[in-house]
């Protein structure tokens, strides 16, 4: 979840769009830097990922409303770790997890970069990165995210501009899919080595 300068105010709630908890509302805490991923972007993302995420391990380093993480859990993900710094958002995430009895979801309160450094390498099959715009988060957090990605895993990135080629090269990632919706550029990244293996 991130912020777009000059964008209209975020909605008061979003809804899970697929899976066992389809149509479940997720309240959006109003705060600086918070912007839920639009429904049409989430729909495209989960078309890319596949509708069934059964057994996958997912990480959302900037959870916000939890839209991406709860969406993944709704579609069968076995483990979903949500990282969020804003106390009000963490409380809201905890309330939703309790309401849904979503035992596969773990919520970590703290700084994304610090917590990412503590997680084990190759731990996650899908990683969501939607940091606040205009704060230069991506160059800081993408190397750790690449380290956390399991073989064959994918990394989803939302940003205010296309991910820079030199940053991709430095982290050993490539763009597998990308699109744009309004001011939001969104990408599905994968390891260059995995992409090369697929082409052999």
pLDDT over 80 at 19, yes or no: yes
Q: Is the residue at 42 inside a domain?
A: yes
Closest CA to 135 of 10, 14, 12, 35: 35
User: What does pLDDT average to over the chain?
Assistant: 88
Residues 131-152 pLDDT 10s: 988 888 899 999 999 999 999 9
| Cα 54 to Cα 155: distance, rounded to the nearest angstrom | 17
> Can you give the CATH number for the domain in which 47 is found?
3.40.50.150
Residues 58-103 pLDDT 10s: 999 999 989 999 999 999 999 999 999 999 999 999 999 999 999 9
Q: Is the residue at 5 inside a domain?
A: no
Higher per-residue confidence, 194 vs 40: 40
Q: Is the residue at 93 inside a domain?
A: yes
Q: Is the residue at 4 inside a domain?
A: no
Confidence bin at 7 (pLDDT 50/70/90): very low
Residues of the domain holding 151: 13-199
| Cα 172 to Cα 64: distance, rounded to the nearest angstrom | 27
Residues 160-198 pLDDT 10s: 999 999 999 999 999 999 999 988 899 999 998 754 455
Q: Is the residue at 26 inside a domain?
A: yes
- pLDDT for the residue 38: 77
| Cα 113 to Cα 71: distance, rounded to the nearest angstrom | 23
Q: Is the residue at 51 inside a domain?
A: yes
Q: Is the residue at 99 inside a domain?
A: yes
Burial of 87 (0-12, 13-18, 19+ CB in 10 A): exposed
- pLDDT for the residue 164: 93
| Cα 26 to Cα 63: distance, rounded to the nearest angstrom | 12
pLDDT over 70 at 33, yes or no: no
Q: What tokens were used for 137?
A: 């988060």
Number of structural domains found in the chain: 1
Q: Is the residue at 2 inside a domain?
A: no
Rounded to an integer, the average pLDDT of 7-24 is 79
Closest CA to 157 of 61, 18, 57: 61
């Amino acid at each position: 979840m991130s912020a777009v300068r000059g964008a209209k105010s975020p909605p008061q709630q979003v809804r899970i769009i697929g899976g066992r908890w389809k149509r479940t509302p997720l309240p959006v805490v109003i705060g600086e830097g918070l912007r839920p991923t639009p429904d049409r972007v989430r729909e495209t993302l989960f078309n890319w990922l596949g509708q069934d995420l059964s057994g996958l391990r997912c990480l959302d380093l900037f959870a916000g409303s939890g839209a991406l993480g709860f969406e993944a859990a709704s579609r069968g993900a076995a483990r979903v770790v949500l990282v969020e710094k804003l106390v009000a958002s963490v409380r809201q995430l905890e309330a939703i997890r309790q309401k849904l009895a979503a035992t596969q979801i773990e919520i970590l309160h703290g700084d994304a970069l610090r917590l990412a450094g503590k997680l084990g390498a190759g731990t996650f099959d899908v990683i969501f990165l939607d940091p606040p715009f205009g704060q230069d988060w991506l160059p800081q957090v993408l190397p750790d995210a690449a380290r956390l990605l399991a073989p064959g895993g994918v990394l989803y990135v939302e940003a205010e501009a296309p991910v820079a080629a030199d940053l991709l090269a430095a982290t050993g990632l490539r763009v597998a899919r990308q699109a744009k919706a309004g001011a939001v550029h969104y990408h599905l990244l994968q390891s260059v080595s995995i992409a090369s293996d697929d082409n052999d």
